Structure 1
């Protein structure tokens, strides 16, 4: 036998747990999505020459939250996922000044 939930339990929209709230603002999230979509559309022969641009931003953003820690090189296929992680970390730590603009610049620079 199970106990009935207290009156009012489950009413209304659930509040997100603090750990599940996305610290990345909508404008930056849109840019990340656009970068990921564009990256997934690039043939390998065009993605490889553009990889240093993405890698440079990954390293720069990672240094904001973990100075001196190298982001492992997991190859071009994982690069945009690594970017999403370090961007999330930077926003969560409050160290993302100018990052949305950097993401926009990166997207515009992709072939």
Structure 2
């Protein structure tokens, strides 16, 4: 497995760190934005829906799909993660 590009890795870790700082109610409120990115990345890579396993594992789903998307060469991945991070309360 190849390493993530530096810019993607950096933005992913920023999103993960921010997500972990959120109180449960804010994470729940922000979960729609994360789910949207998860769905988009799943469509761009596997073309199959990602099951809704709840807020507790949502960020792990994002991490897996970012790896898949980077491996598939999905463009503007770091920018998409930065946009997501900015939407988190």
Please name the residue that 1:51 is paired with: 31
What stretches of structure 1 move > 6 A for 4+ residues in a row? Answer: none
TM-score, length-scaled by structure 1? 0.76
Match of 1:74, SS state, is coil
Mapped partners of 1:98, 1:92: distance in 2 = 13
RMSD: 0.9
CA distance in 2, matches of 1:98, 1:41: 25
Structure of larger gyration radius: 1
Larger RCO: 1 or 2 (CA < 8 Å, sep 6+): 2
1:92 aligns with 2:76: no
- 1:103 and 2:86 equivalent? no
Selected match of 2:60 from 73, 77, 81: 81
Deviating more after overlay: 69-78 vs 48-57 = 69-78
- Structure 1: give runs of 5+ residues left out of the alignment: 1-18
Query: Which ranges of structure 2 fall in alignment gaps of 5 or more residues?
Result: none
Name the TM-score, length of structure 2 as normaliser: 0.94
For each residue in 1:39-63, what CA deviation from the matched residue of structure 2 results, as whole angstroms up to 9, or x when unmatched? Answer: 1111111110100000000000111
